[in-house]
Amino acid sequence: MSEESEIKEIQWTIHSTHPEMVKIAREKLGEVIDPEIGMTIIQLGLIRDVIIENNMGRIKMILTTPFCPYGPAMIEMTKAKAVEGLNMPVTIEMGMDVWDFSMMEDPSALDWGMYA
């Protein structure tokens, strides 16, 4: 099985409402790295939804842990990259979902032996 088939891209609202925005949104948001884990917020599946309504972006996001010491900085960076990619004002809504490995887009990252 190829690695491509193992990656499960999260489907955001903009996939159906603004499909032309998906690629740039993924690229820009993919520049935000969780410094503790060393993976992007896209790879980790931390961006749960991207919505555009009335020329405003809304990002629904979670953190890998509620006590993530890098959380505030990651949220600010996510907002900055979303504004850059979507070219409009953006708000970040923090979800209450508890992150787990099944949310990752690329589960092959678990093969690092980092999480046994």
- The pLDDT tens digits along the chain (116 residues) read 344 446 788 999 999 999 999 999 999 999 999 998 889 999 999 999 999 999 999 999 999 988 888 999 999 999 999 999 999 999 999 998 889 888 888 766 666 545 44
Q: Name the CA dihedral angle for 116, 2, 102, 12, rounded to a multiple of 10 degrees.
A: 150
CA distance 84 to 86: 6
Closest to 57 measured CA to CA, from 93, 3, 101: 93
| Domains with residue ranges and CATH for the chain | 3-106 (3.30.300.130)
